[in-house]
Structure 1
Amino acid sequence: MEQKDMVRRTQAMELRIRRTMEALEKNNMRAYYAETSADAVRVVESLLQEGDTITCGGSVTLDATGVKALMRSGRYNFLDREAVETEEERQKIYRAAFSADAYLTSANAITERGELYNVDGTGNRVAAMLFGPSKVIVVAGYNKIVRDLGAAAAYVKGITAPANALRLHIDTPCTHAACPGTDGGLCDGCRAESRICGQYTVIARQRVQNRIHVVLVGEEVGY
């Protein structure tokens, strides 16, 4: 691709991000643009106070951008579910998340209408996003921006669910072929005991203004 075409592609991507940011703001969510992953870490850092009690949902994006490293820097009281050994300890962290100063996560998809679309297995991540923590910080690559909720469902069916199942070594139908719901509703026909698509949420206009902060990264990160 020629340099001028790369520039135009970048400009188009930034226009889409700005359009999505405006929609998020109209839905009472604070929106930020981070050109790079390093910039995203600096934005997140500015949203936290030293000594804050923080925790997070499972997220490839937080790892890939370096946000998880910031969380483990020792400057915060990080309730790290990956640092415990038993399921009982993990469950305690899941419940403690509701009283955390900040909950960090990504979103499965973000619509240009300013909606956060998420699909969870057990629901601990989406539950904390919906209610509890004083502040929710969402970090997402521009690759997760979609036109509307229909496109969000298609993105999760075609990319997010199979990629996460493969990452977690979970045997689901979507890791062998197309999601059974590709031509219909999400996960229609999936009866796998290990199914990771269990809870579906749409976060739209918020009644608590600026509780949710969305950092959009000008890079492809996460899935």
Structure 2
Amino acid sequence: MDPKKTRSEKLGKQVVEALKKRYFDAHYVSTKEEVLPLVLKLIPKEHTVSWGGTMTYEELGIKEELKKQGYSVIDRYTAKTPEEKEEMQRAALTCGTFLMSSNAITESGELFNIDGAANRVAALCYGPKNVLIVAGINKIVYDMEDAYKKVRHYTAPINAQRFDLSTPCCKTGECGNCINQDCICSQLVMTRLSKPAGRIKVIIVGEELGI
């Protein structure tokens, strides 16, 4: 067997067990192709579904499949005005299931997320009945210190460049610890436990997804 695949499988399953001890409803799948059927199984048909800005779900085609399956969705990217987009983001905070990835997940089963407007981490913390996280094996880090370093100095600059923001990291590729209004590091959230138990569902994928 491929040593890299073996390592991913062992690590992914280990992290799933760590998440379960912290009351997350956690699952491991080996491949990207296994994600969609599990996602559909974990989202009640009667739920309205929304999401934050996430490359992972776009990469997997999950958003479009939910629409095809007839789910009621709140998609802020269909808004015609900034005001309508804002209202959709607020409505998403009371949806049935909110979709997101996690910027990092520690080997001990803690989540670390960073956000600009905070709509994504707000939904993670409270509001939607279910939060469904899909994370590639590349999101796993050793501990919270590693999570902070990776997200601030790697993930955030890439996302800033993706959105062509006016932050120093968009220009240099390095975190400038800025207080720019475009900063996407406004809110830093560590999630130690799922409360209530099972509200946050996590799917670890044994392949790389997103950044």
- Normalised-by-shorter TM-score class: over 0.9
Counterparts of 2:167 and 2:53 in 1: how far apart (Å)?
A: 19
Match of 1:179 among 162, 175, 178: 175
Q: Is residue 149 of structure 1 aligned with residue 144 of structure 2?
A: yes
Q: Is residue 70 of structure 1 aligned with residue 72 of structure 2?
A: no
For 1:199, the equivalent position in structure 2 comes to 187
- Secondary structure of the residue aligned to 2:197 is coil
- Secondary structure of the residue aligned to 2:155 is helix
Greater shift, 69-78 or 18-27, is seen at 69-78
For 1:217, the equivalent position in structure 2 comes to 205
- Secondary structure of the residue aligned to 1:99 is coil
Shift of 1:18: 1.0
For 1:35-184, list aligned pairs within 5 A: 35-175=30-170, 176-180=172-176
1:141·1:216 contact (CA, 8 Å) conserved in 2? Answer: yes
AA at the equivalent of 2:195: R
Q: Deviations over 1:29-87 (max 9, x none)?
A: 01111222221111101012324211000001110122222222251100010111112
Aligned residues between the structures = 210
Counterparts of 1:54 and 1:109 in 2: how far apart (Å)?
A: 23
For 1:25-44, list aligned pairs within 5 A: 25-44=20-39
1:36·1:217 contact (CA, 8 Å) conserved in 2? Answer: yes
Match of 2:17 among 18, 22, 26: 22
Give every structure 1 segment of 4 or more consecutive aligned residues whose post-TM-superposition deviation is greater than 3 Å.
none
Q: Could you state the TM-score of these two structures normalised by the residue count of structure 1?
A: 0.90
- Secondary structure of the residue aligned to 2:161 is helix
2:52·2:99 contact (CA, 8 Å) conserved in 1? Answer: yes
Shift of 1:214: 0.3
Counterparts of 2:115 and 2:173 in 1: how far apart (Å)?
A: 20
Q: Is residue 10 of structure 1 aligned with residue 42 of structure 2?
A: no
Taking a change above 3 Å as real, the CA distance of residues 95 and 177 of structure 1, as seen in their structure-2 partners, is closer
AA at the equivalent of 2:197: Q
Shift of 1:163: 1.1
Q: Which runs of 5+ in 1 are unaligned?
A: 181-186
AA at the equivalent of 2:84: E
